[in-house]
Structure 1
Amino acid sequence: MTALVSLSQFLSMMALAGFAGVALWLAARPPARMAAPTPVPRRLALAAAATAIWCGALYAFSPGSSQALVIQSLRDLAMLFWLSGTFWSASAPMSRPQRVILWMLVTIDLFALLLGGAAYLRAGAAAFPWMTPTLTVGAMLVAVGGLLIVDSGVRRAGAGQRMPMMAVAGGFAMLWAYELNVQLIGALTGETASTLIQLLPAVALLVLPTYVVAAMDAGRERMQLSRTAAMRTLLLLGGAAYLVLIGLTGAVARMIGGDYTELAQATSLVVALGTGGILLASARARAWLSVMISKHFFEHRYDYRTEWMRFTATLGQGAKGDGEDDGNLYRRVAKALAELTGSPGAWLMLPAARGGFRVAEQWRWPAGIDEDATLSLRSAFMLQESRHIVDLDAQRRGQPAQDLAIPDWLIADNRAWVVVPVVHFQRMIAVVVLHRPPVSRALDWEDLDVLRIAGQQAASYLAESQSQQALSEARRFDEFNRRFAFIMHDIKNLASQIGLLARNAERHADKPDFRADMVETLKISAGRLSDLLVRLSPRERGPAAEAGRVLIEPLLADVAAEVRPRRALFVGCQAGLAAWGDRGSIRQVVQHLVTNAVDASAPETPVQLVAVAEQGRVRIDVIDQGCGMTRDFIRDELFKPFVSTKDAGFGLGAFEALQIAQAMGGAIDVASEPGQGSDFTLWLPLADAQGEAGIDPRMMKVGSK
């Protein structure tokens, strides 16, 4: 017992020095440096000083003595004074019952101080023994009331209070709870728990770090644990709690007697192994635990520094990582946004040729990409204008923030959780659909802000990438133009050669040898010109032409007549069908599609050219039974410049045809399978529909390329 008393005195001196140092530290700080309102740090300094005096009383008179109980009343009064300044404020107002409890506790402490002082002045130290029961009852009442104030104040304060200040309130609660426990044990057993009383200075030392952290916070020298360190601390505390529970279970089993000790040990082991196995094997259990810890132990859901560093690293890395090819920026964007919210997968949608957005890339989406999954032009416009993060669960419950015309297929897919528009300035570059996480939850303001800012950051990466791609294509066009310069040089040489031949013919036309040489030269020149003409197929259009009503049937007949030497076409056209556009442009697109169909099919297979009115537009189908194309080629390469399946092709025909069609308000669709032929569909505005809409033909122009 002597050793325990000596240890208690040593701990009392350490606690006295620590609390005195914190009190002096806070008192010496100028008010201008304090982040919190001035009264709160001053009251904290007063509470630290009173606690230091109490620790001195523990050293001088021993814990549990009447003198220490009187000084404890002074300490409790200072602590209540600090609590009133912390929780009785605009950010965390006390309720009326709390204020009543606070005034009652202050009255009890003042009474204990006055009673102890008066008794000491009258009878000296001999008066304290008979006062001990009264002081003990008062201390118990103050401890119970203080715990109620701390519990209610912390629950009502929420995020309005700084976390270090809340930690000090928790330290108060720990000290009061320990003292109340000791006093209750003595009251119930009738014996003084001397060992627990002697350990009061140790509990005071455990409370001291909360004062230190709060003091640093008040001086803007905030000390914070990283989320990783906090999580590991929680795990260690959980392990310690498990060991304590094991010890208590064993103690209770020994008190009961019998064979319950081994049963308790086996039960504890099974529970521990079962819990650990569930956490290791179940991603859903781990996700649930992570959500619960983030929700109840941290002020913010996200560790912004860590998450932003990981997000930026995911967007910026171009090499392979985690066994995946991260060279695809679109997939990296989907991955980065999914990892922010703990989603196991994501879709990324890009602008489609016919308007709207289509699924172009995915990251770990379980069923892959749905080729028919598209976002309509209206939905895309609404998302671009509102920049709204769409909670699809709210859409399914019929509680949307606003009508965003989300397609039915996306609502029906319960795996889809959130829609994030990726907007760069006023243009939506992409749309990301996040997969539902293992533990689904409702989005809050923090999720929305993080996804909105992350979407803007990702949009800047995508915009830069697209700009680089456009610059690369421009450079390739420049190279292509330089090739034309060489071709023009060859044409000039041929023209000079033919001109010289014509001048010589005036003088030597009657000579047989000259005529033979002339014929041979003309054949060679004609062959070279034919080759150049093939290479110089029309690529440039003239000035902007006015759109007008174009009859489709005669236009198709002209194209068929031009192609007839190579292949007979089956032509079918709805009577009187007319499109709205430029005749030369429409003919150029149809001629290109027909030429491609002829080139792609065998000589004996037919090529069909069919035109009808459908859905208020003109539909012109060019159908062949040739080699066909893969879906990947159609989606990724068919309409890109400089990509061609022909050995001598420049890869500009399909690209130019699409540009011309879109300039007239039309589009081109392709349906093809390898070995089964292709169906190119040219959509154009219907002339009658344009007329009914009251559009002035002079106001419509077909853009030049």
Structure 2
Amino acid sequence: MAGGSALTVALAGLSEILSALALVAFAGVGLWLLARPRARMVALMPAPRWLAAAAAGTAIWCAALYVWAPGSSQALAVQALRDLAMLGWLRATFWSPAAPMSRPLRLILRLLVTISAAMLLIGGAAHWERGAGAAEWLGSALTISAMIVATGGLLLVDGAVRRASAGLRMPVMAVAGGFAMLWAYELNVQLIGALTDKPASTLIHLLPGVALLILPTFVVAAMDVGRERIRLSRTAAMRTLILIGAATYLVLIGLVGAVARLIGGDYGELAQGTFLIFALGCGGLLLLSARARAWLSVMISKHFFEHRYDYRAEWMRFTATLAQGDGEDDRNLHRRVAKALAELTGSPGALLMLPDALGAFRVAEQWHWPAGIGDEEATLSLRSSFMLQETRHIVDLDAERRGRPADEQDLAIPDWLLADARAWVVVPVLHFHRMIAVVVLHRPPVSRALDWEDLDVLRIAGQQAASYLAESQSQAALSEAKRFDEFNRRFAFIMHDIKNLASQLSLLASNAERHADKPAFRADMVETLKISSGRLSDLLVRLSPRERGRAAEAERTLVEPVLNAIAAEAKARRALFVGCQAGLAAWGDAGSIRQIVQHLVANAIDASPGDTAVQVIAVAEHGRARIDVIDQGSGMTRAFIRDELFKPFVSTKDGGFGLGAFEALQLAQAMGGSIEVASEPGKGSNFTLWLPLADAHADGAADNRIMKVANR
């Protein structure tokens, strides 16, 4: 008994401290709310004055708790003043003349206001007249009235929150939740006292502490924060439901045990054992049965959430699945698309169909689809493909199996798809009104009819997946186009060289008519034909797609023999003046160097008058090999050199391809060289080919070998 008295005294002292703190805190918050600019508060809270009144009423109630102790009849009478302010705030916040209350809630509000006003007036008058003696006959009436007000207040909060859920903001929700928590705690305390015929003194003394717990909701409402809606994530909501279910189970066990003990006998142990077996059975069913888990997920999504899908989580998972996966099975984009669409609706598998050469769609990939469909029968005909593309319908195959109304369009779904009961939904994957794939989803463990939300999600997800497939197809087409472009470019270069050879042979044929009887000409003609034949053979080799790159054939090349060979070849058209530094060697491919200089010499001859010479001079300069091709022709403007000279398919010659200078520059850059041009109109041109010097390249290679050895 002494221990119980000490605990009661300690709780009473703690209650006084908490009541004093709550009094000061709520009074301060009330004054703060009144001092805030009204326009700013209205933007955040629809009824700021009523909120200030609720804070003031709570402060007065805390003062009553401090003076007369929690649970006293005086405190219950003052509590009515607090409840009136709270009810006024709920009415002003959630309902307006433009959106009035429903009739049942309006009746409940009027009843609560009447009861609270009666509690305040009767309780105040009774204590004024009789003092402490009024508590003997008034306490029970005030307790019952407080229970009615708390219950009605919870109903009003529930109706208000459900009505305003579409536009609910954080401060409003916080304050309403705080009121609901306070009323729920008081109702719980009063119910325990009514059921046990003994007041729950410990819980009653903690009432000021509960009041302090709702104080932050007033602070949040007074501050200019929290304008966004509060929404629990799908994961948090599911865990909350699980906790509520576990708590309900424990409460039921406790109630059944209490009832069994009142009845007597061994019914208590029997009831607890029955509940335990039932709980273990439900848990095992959910753990082992995918169908049971799917059914539970559908029921929870249908009845507890506004939307079936958690769009943020689903979209993040969908895009992550479409991205490149790490597993061997996830490297196939077609399989990833089928998997991503199937996971959206909880389907255990999916088929992906792609168009063939004739336009019909055939199964190209599957994700976890059981075997049983042959390649020949798994086809969408041209008519089916056309109808899906034109209508863009997401097809519910169950509805098709039941038969469509006469006024609906026939989508020409093939018989093999309707006959397979596993097939559930057909999703056309469209990219800019062009169907690039079709996905067939497997029936989920718990089958259901598609609603508008399923159709919207699948339609948008199909468009997103289509962009990935279209990009993949574009990459494949671009790769193939690059191969054709490489072949065409190589062929264009060959045609340019063939044109030069044809011009040379044509000139040779015209000269043969006049000089065929001269032995010296015949010897030159034979030599020219040999050179032309060799160049044609080289052109055929270059046209082969297996030709090795020029840069891979770089080696030490003497420049003088290359220039002499070019001079001998061009002798039939024009005599060249060749000057070369003795022993000059460049680092590059001899054939490429020869082809570049041939292009430059041919252009110089074409641009020069017949009585002028073309010079080819090669020297070593600044650690590089320099080869100059100089003519005295018409020259070029700086704008032409800058904008058009090295641009492919641009030529000033009649019938020219415009590829000579472009190809020469490409070959030079491939060997680490470059081409410079100096020219003026009427003064001729000077083309300079710069190439790496072989000796400098050999010295650099030797230095690299020395560094590698030193590093070892």
TM-score, normalised relative to structure 1: 0.60
- Measured after TM superposition, the shift of residue 471 of structure 1 is 0.5
Equivalent of 1:365, from 360, 369, 373? 369
Q: Could you report, residue by residue, the CA deviation over 1:265-290 in whole angstroms, capped at 9, with x for unpaired residues?
A: 43343233222212211122222333
Conserved? CA contact 2:157–2:176, under 8 Å? yes
Residue 108 (1) aligns with residue 112 (2): no
Is 1:470 the counterpart of 2:477? The answer is yes
Aligned residue number for residue 633 of structure 2: none
| Gapped regions of structure 2 (runs ≥ 5) | 1-7, 517-536, 546-712
Question: Aligned to 1:439, which of 440, 446, 469?
Answer: 446
SS of 2:330 mapped into structure 1: coil
Q: Give the deviation of 1:234 after TM superposition.
A: 3.7
Percent identity between matched residues is: 74
**Count of equivalent residues:** 513
Label 1:243 to 1:73 Cα distance change in 2 as closer, same or farther (>3 A). same
From 306, 317, 334, the counterpart of 2:338: 334
The equivalent of 1:456 in structure 2 is 463
Change (3 A) 1:493 1:151: closer
1:236-315 equivalent positions in 2, closer than 5 A: 236-315=243-322
Structure 1, unmatched stretches of 5+, are 508-527, 537-705
**Per the alignment, in what secondary structure is the counterpart of residue 420 of structure 1?**
strand
Match for residue 61 of structure 1?
68
Q: Aligned partners of 1:413 and 1:162: how far apart in 2?
A: 49
C-alpha distance after superposition, 1:493-522 (max 9, x if no partner): 9999x9999x99xx9xxxxxxxxxxxxxxx
Q: In 1, are the aligned partners of 2:45 and 2:171 still within 8 Å (CA)?
A: no
Map of 1:4 onto structure 2: 11
Distance in 1 separating the partners of 2:408 and 2:59: 59
Residues 142-190 of structure 1: CA deviation (Å, up to 9, x unaligned): 2343344445555666646558756755654554455445445555665
**Deviates further, 339-348 or 41-50:** 41-50
* Contact 1:168-1:211 within 8 A present in 2 as well: yes
Distance 1:352 1:54, change over 3 A: farther
- Give me the whole-angstrom Cα distance separating, in 1, the residues matched to 2:97 and 2:448: 31
User: How much does 1:311 deviate?
Assistant: 1.6
TM-score after normalising by structure 2: 0.60
Partner Cα separation in structure 1 for residue 97 and residue 340 of structure 2 = 40
* Counterpart check, 1:347 vs 2:354: no
Q: Shift of the alpha carbon at 1:362?
A: 1.9
C-alpha contact (below 8 Å) 1:416/1:433 kept by paired residues: yes
Alpha-carbon distance in 2 for matches of 1:398, 1:86: 51
Q: C-alpha deviations, 1:44-66, integer Å up to 9, x for none?
A: 55445434443443333222212
- Aligned equivalent of 2:676: none
Cα offset for 1:456? 2.1
Measured at CA, do residues 212 and 468 of structure 1 come closer, stay the same or move farther in structure 2, by a change above 3 Å? farther
The one-letter amino acid paired with 1:341 is T
Deviation at 1:68, TM superposition (A): 1.5
Between 1:114-123 and 1:201-210, the stretch displaced more is 201-210
- Name the SS of the counterpart of 2:409 in structure 1: coil
Secondary structure in 1 aligned to 2:86?
helix
Between the aligned partners of 2:31 and 2:441, the Cα distance in structure 1 is 54
Shift of 1:474: 0.3
* d(CA) in 2 for partners of 1:442, 1:91: 38
Alignment partner of 1:428: what SS? strand
Residues 344/212 of structure 1: CA separation in 2 closer, same or farther (3 Å cut): farther
Aligned CA RMSD, in angstroms, stands at 4.6
Moved more, 453-462 or 233-242: 233-242
Whether the aligned pair in 2 keeps the contact of 1:338 and 1:344 (CA below 8 Å) is yes
Deviates more, 1:376-385 or 1:59-68: 376-385
Q: Does 1:98 align with 2:105?
A: yes
Q: Do the aligned residues in 2 keep the contact of 1:15 with 1:204 (CA within 8 Å)?
A: yes
Residues 389 and 433 in structure 2, CA contact (< 8 A), matched pair in contact too: yes
Query: Could you list the per-position Cα deviations for residues 101-131 of structure 1 after superposition, in whole angstroms to 9, with x for gaps in the alignment?
Result: 2222212222222333444555556555543
Deviations 1:224-252, CA, capped at 9 Å, x for gaps? 54433443344344444444444444444
- In the TM superposition, residue 468 of structure 1 has moved relative to its aligned partner by 1.0
- Single out whichever of 165-174 and 297-306 deviates more from structure 2: 165-174
C-alpha deviation, 1:492, in angstroms: 10
86 and 205 in structure 1: CA distance in 2 versus 1, 3 angstrom threshold: same
- Cα distance in 2 between the residues matched to 1:36 and 1:441: 44
Q: Are 1:426 and 2:430 an aligned pair? A: no
Cα distance between partner residues in 1 of 2:36 and 2:484: 69
How far apart are the structure 2 equivalents of 1:398 and 1:231?
A: 38
Counterpart residue type for residue 403 of structure 1: Q
Q: Are 2:170 and 2:229, in contact at CA under 8 Å, matched by a contact in 1?
A: no
Distance, in Å, in 2 between the alignment partners of 1:14 and 1:414 is 69
| Counterpart residue type for residue 336 of structure 1 | A
Map residues 657-672 of structure 1 onto 2, 5 A cutoff: none
Q: Indicate conservation of the 8 Å contact 1:12/1:59, yes or no.
A: yes
